[in-house]
């Protein structure tokens, strides 16, 4: 597996990682950002938008939180599920490969997943995007390791429900531990619909001061 990670990382990380990879230093363990300010010596410190991953049980409506956070923070919401579904048409070169995995109830192969993600990030970088909210992956520790070869993830928001889905919970234990070891994991208990828990989530992420379309966008060094 380590050979696979190295090969995929080498193939997918350049030049994308040079554009996204400013290696944001963690502050306060989980909050690797700062509001836009100039250095005291007059030089402007290079900044980029946040690069977050959102994990969560299928029942928590993860995509809703991802979309709202992306809008709040001024970065694109990248749904891995949407990228894959776009290829589920007979005209796509990946149609058979993805369709076969889906029909067999398997995860889409890593080379397909990260090929699609790398392409999407490169296109965004060319449009001036410097951050993202990503949902849908990683689903395994291997995918988390490969993702680290592509982008510098600042924070991983793990949305959890009281009712645990056995297979999903067991599958994600390794991913949660991976990011916990990196001190990037933020667990948030979802007790209701997105509208009922939104304010609590903002408080947990220390984003109460943010408003949509604010000129004071959150950035990471």
In three-state form (DSSP H/G/I as H, E/B as E, the rest C), the secondary structure along 173-204 is HHHHHHHHHCCCEEEEEECCCHHHHHHHHHHH
**What pLDDT was estimated at residue 29?**
38
- Per the structure block, which two tokens stand in for 46? 């290079």
Cis? peptide before 138, omega within 30° of 0: yes
Stretch 182-204: mean pLDDT: 91
**What pLDDT was estimated at residue 100?**
87
**What pLDDT was estimated at residue 13?**
46
pLDDT at 186 over 90: yes
Q: Give per-residue pLDDT as tens, 11-51.
A: 444 444 544 433 333 333 334 444 444 344 444 444 789 99
**What pLDDT was estimated at residue 21?**
38
User: Of the segments 87-101, 118-132, 196-210, which one has the largest average pLDDT value?
Assistant: 118-132
Higher pLDDT, 57 or 127: 127
Query: CA-CA distance, 31 to 45, in Å (whole number)?
Result: 18
Please name the residue that has the structure tokens 């299928």.
58
- Per the structure block, which two tokens stand in for 146? 């490969």
Share the mean pLDDT of the chain. Answer: 78
Cα dihedral 135→63→212→202 (10° resolution)? -80
């Amino acid at each position: 597996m380590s050979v696979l990670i190295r090969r995929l990382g080498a193939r997918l990380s350049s030049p994308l990682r040079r554009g996204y990879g400013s290696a944001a230093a963690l502050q306060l363990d989980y909050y690797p950002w700062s509001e836009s300010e100039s250095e005291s010596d007059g030089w402007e410190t290079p900044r980029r938008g946040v690069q977050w991953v959102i994990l969560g049980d299928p029942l928590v409506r993860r995509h809703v939180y991802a979309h709202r956070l992306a809008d709040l923070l001024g970065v694109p919401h990248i749904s891995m599920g949407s990228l894959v579904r776009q290829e589920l048409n007979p005209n796509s070169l990946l149609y058979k490969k993805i369709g076969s995995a889906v029909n067999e109830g398997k995860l889409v192969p890593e080379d397909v997943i990260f090929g699609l993600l790398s392409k999407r990030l490169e296109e965004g970088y060319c449009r001036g995007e410097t951050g993202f909210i990503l949902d849908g992956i990683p689903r395994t520790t291997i995918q988390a390791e490969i993702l680290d070869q592509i982008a510098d993830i600042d924070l991983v928001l793990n949305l959890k429900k009281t009712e645990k889905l056995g297979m999903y919970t067991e599958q994600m234990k390794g991913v949660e531990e991976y990011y916990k070891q990196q001190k990037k994991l933020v667990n948030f208990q979802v007790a209701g619909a997105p509208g009922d828990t939104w304010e609590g989530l903002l408080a947990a992420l220390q984003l109460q001061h943010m408003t949509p379309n604010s000129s004071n966008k959150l950035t990471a060094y």
